[in-house]
Amino acid sequence: MTRTARRLFACLSCWAVGATLFVTPLFAQETPAKGDGADPNRHIYLLIGQSNMAGRAPISEAEEGVVPRCFLFNAEGEWEPARNPFNRYSTIRKGLGMQKMNPGYGFAQAMLEQAPFKRNEALTLGLVVNAKGGTRIEQWAKGTEFYNEAVRRTKAAAKTGALKGVLWHQGEGNSGQPAGYLDKLNALIANLREDLDAPDLPFIAGQIREGEAINDEIARLPQTTPHTGFVSSKGLTLMDKAHFDAPSMKRLGERYAQAISKLHVTADAAQDDGDAVSELNDREVLEAEVNASVEDVWAAFTTTDGLKSWVAPLADIDLRVGGKWRANYNEDGELGDATTIENTILSYDPERMLSLKATGFPEGFPFADAAEKSWSVLYFTPVTESKTKITVVGLGYDDTEQSRKMRAYFRPANQHLMTQLKATLEGAAAEQAE
């Protein structure tokens, strides 16, 4: 393989790996809480908090039906097909008539589109929803009715499956007195993990729409407690002073799904037990922090000038679903010739996520069959105003010889490209500061 070809393939490798969003890295595989004889294909989540988690968004006729492969833990301690409102079986809720659409609806639909559920049709979701509107975080402290009921119901549900995480949305009740909120939230997480016998249980907290001080506390959660994340309320809209409207409620649920999935992906990637290699062999994860704003990092990946600054001298991008990302390392060539790399944009969420699939390979590329089965998701997480975490997750790998060789080749190439990106962006930031 020529040096030029190696540089071309290294460039392509940046998109053969994958992504991160508001998560803390995990250094051991999560150990979900399970009961004897539990079904490992039933993935159980606890949803708790106040009115937005209870659900106040209106439910349309089209949203009244059963969500496939999703179940609610009901009042009899049994699973039944999930339908709105998801908080109907909360043992602490207000009147049933007040329960409307909550983030669980969008969460369930988004989770079912994730790769594990696509690959394994036996996987199902089990949701234990036990929220109540108008509550403060102090009412969820260990020993309170709200806490005790959440733990009791979750323990009962976990006997039938694998407890995979907690989704929390609360803060409106504390927005007037935000001091100490993060400490109380960390205490809640620690107590839940202890009482549910799940020390690494993933926990995702959601921001409220109006409450800058509370949102700042929530955003700092991943920096203080491992195996946690948060979802932003940026761009979401309210239908009154505190409650998200239906489109935003569904979008919030999708963000929960993205965030919890990143925790699971990172946990899987950190597992290097030989017995788990074949099971986890479909993904590759690369993480890095860059001393640049999320706006600048996003621009480096999604604008023509940005790509030219660090990827290749010839590059362009059509940022839309179905649009093309193209690059050519040969300065004497042109985009579209035999040495061009082409990726197709599968989806994107501005300044948060970009998903790509390689659809055009340089002439002589030795891993075309393996690459055609893979795709990548990149996540951009603001650490501070001037620092961004990038997680790249490549999916679709398998145990074939070509796939294994492609992974072995791309690992050091990806590290090199990330170093190159950091040097470019941090150098630009230094020049601006002078």
Whether residues 167 and 140 fall in one domain? yes
Whole-angstrom distance, CA of residue 379 vs CA of residue 28: 21
For residue 94, the one-letter residue type is K
Can you tell me the mean pLDDT for 252-266? 85
Report helix, strand or coil for 341.
strand
Whether residues 358 and 254 fall in one domain? no
Backbone angles phi, psi at 428, to 5 degrees: -65, -40
Element (H, E) at 205: strand 203-206
Can you tell me the mean pLDDT for 263-276? 49
Question: Given this model, what pLDDT does residue 77 score?
Answer: 95
Q: What is the DSSP letter of 67?
A: P
Backbone angles phi, psi at 305, to 5 degrees: -65, -40
* Cα-Cα end-to-end distance for the chain: 42
Whether residues 39 and 9 fall in one domain? no
Whether residues 42 and 187 fall in one domain? yes
Find, among 108, 110, 160, 143, the residue nearest to 129 by Cα. 108
Question: Which residues partner with 40 through β-bridges?
Answer: none
Whether residues 306 and 245 fall in one domain? no
Of the three residues 246, 270, 294, the one that is the final residue of a domain is 270
Tens of pLDDT, residues 112-166: 988 788 888 899 999 999 999 999 999 999 999 999 999 999 999 999 999 999 9
Q: Which among 33-37, 172-176, 395-399 has the top mean pLDDT?
A: 172-176
Residue 245: pLDDT band by 50, 70, 90 thresholds? very high
CB 174 within 8 A of CB 214: yes
Whether residues 350 and 204 fall in one domain? no
Of the three residues 270, 301, 317, the one that is the final residue of a domain is 270
Whether residues 305 and 378 fall in one domain? yes
Question: Given this model, what pLDDT does residue 17 score?
Answer: 33
Q: What is the DSSP letter of 81?
A: E
Q: Widest CA span of the chain, in angstroms?
A: 71
Question: Given this model, what pLDDT does residue 271 score?
Answer: 45
Sequential DSSP letters for 136-204: -GGGGSTTSHHHHHHHHHHHHHHTTSEEEEEEEE--GGGTTS-TTHHHHHHHHHHHHHHHTT-TT--EE
Tens of pLDDT, residues 203-236: 999 999 887 889 899 988 988 888 899 999 889 9
Tens of pLDDT, residues 41-64: 999 999 999 999 999 999 999 999
Range of 338's domain? Answer: 3-20+281-433
Whether residues 226 and 305 fall in one domain? no
Structure tokens at 265: 């992906």
Whether residues 258 and 406 fall in one domain? no
Structure tokens at 80: 């039944």
| Strand-strand pairing, 283-290 and 387-395 | antiparallel
Structure tokens at 222: 């991943």
Between the CA atoms of 34, 39, 40 and 44, what dihedral angle is there, to the nearest 10 degrees?
Answer: -70
Question: Given this model, what pLDDT does residue 4 score?
Answer: 39
- Total count of domains within the chain: 2
Backbone angles phi, psi at 231, to 5 degrees: -115, 135
Residue 11: pLDDT band by 50, 70, 90 thresholds? very low
Whole-angstrom distance, CA of residue 314 vs CA of residue 316: 7
Residue 393 lies in a domain: yes
Is residue 186 over pLDDT 70?
A: yes
CATH number for the domain including 220?
3.40.50.1110
Q: What is the DSSP letter of 101?
A: B
Residue 306 lies in a domain: yes
| Average model confidence (pLDDT) across the chain | 83
Residue 25 lies in a domain: no
Find, among 220, 146, 212, 134, the residue nearest to 175 by Cα. 212
Sequential DSSP letters for 8-57: HHHHHHTTSS-B-SSB---SS----EE-TT--TTEEEEEEEESHHHH--B
Residue 29: pLDDT band by 50, 70, 90 thresholds? very low
Can you tell me the mean pLDDT for 12-32? 32
Whether residues 52 and 193 fall in one domain? yes
Element (H, E) at 88: none
Whether residues 264 and 300 fall in one domain? no
What does each C-alpha distance from 134 to 63, 169, 431 come to in angstroms? 25, 12, 50
For residue 49, the one-letter residue type is G
Of the three residues 270, 297, 318, the one that is the final residue of a domain is 270
Whether residues 318 and 265 fall in one domain? no
Q: Which among 48-57, 330-339, 388-397 has the top mean pLDDT?
A: 48-57
Residue 380 lies in a domain: yes
CATH number for the domain including 353?
3.30.530.20
Question: Given this model, what pLDDT does residue 282 score?
Answer: 66
Question: Given this model, what pLDDT does residue 64 score?
Answer: 93
Element (H, E) at 73: strand 70-73
Q: What is the DSSP letter of 279?
A: T
CB 324 within 8 A of CB 344: yes
Question: Given this model, what pLDDT does residue 287 score?
Answer: 84
Residue 266: pLDDT band by 50, 70, 90 thresholds? low
Residue 26 lies in a domain: no
Whole-angstrom distance, CA of residue 328 vs CA of residue 210: 46
Whole-angstrom distance, CA of residue 112 vs CA of residue 204: 18
Is residue 423 over pLDDT 90?
A: no
145: which residues sit within 8 A by CB, 6+ positions away? Answer: 92
Tens of pLDDT, residues 295-326: 999 999 999 999 888 877 888 999 999 999 98
Residue 28 lies in a domain: no
Find, among 391, 323, 390, 328, the residue nearest to 357 by Cα. 323
Is residue 276 over pLDDT 80?
A: no
Residue 417 lies in a domain: yes
Q: Percentage of the chain surpassing pLDDT 70?
A: 85
Residue 169 lies in a domain: yes
Residue 27: pLDDT band by 50, 70, 90 thresholds? very low
